[in-house]
Amino acid sequence: MIFVAVFELDRVYGGPEEGGWWFTTGDLMKVVKAFPDSDEEKAYDYSRRFNRTLAFRRHEQRKIPYGRLPIQSVNYSGGHYQAEVWNDIPYSYPEHTPHYE
C-alpha cells in the first residue's frame, strides 16, 4: 500500500557544539488516504492537491494579525502541515535525533 499522511513540521536546533545546525521533524497527525501500489501517481496527485489546500489555509491565516509564522522563523510555534506520500506505514520522523561529527 501507498499512504498519504499529514505531518506537522518543525525545525529543531542541533546545538552550538556541532556548528549550530537545524533539522526538520515531522509529527504524524493523520493518515488521510491509502492507495494500492499500482496507483502511485494517483497518490502523488492527491498529495499535491491536499498540499494546495493546506497552503491556501496558511495564506488565509496570514491575513489575521500575528498569524502563523513560516517554519524558517526562529519564532515559529507550530501549525505548518504537509501531506507526504509514503510507501510504507508512515511514522513521525526522524526516528533518532541526528548527530553530526
pLDDT tens digits, one per residue of 23-57: 889 999 999 999 999 999 999 999 999 998 887 76
- 3 within 8 A of 85, measured Cβ to Cβ: yes
Determine the pLDDT at residue 65.
45
d(CA 24, CA 13): 9
d(CA 89, CA 91): 7
Q: Which three cell numbers stand for residue 45?
A: 496527485
In this structure, which amino acid lies at residue 20? G
The pTM assigned to this predicted structure is: 0.78
* Percentage of the chain exceeding pLDDT 70: 74
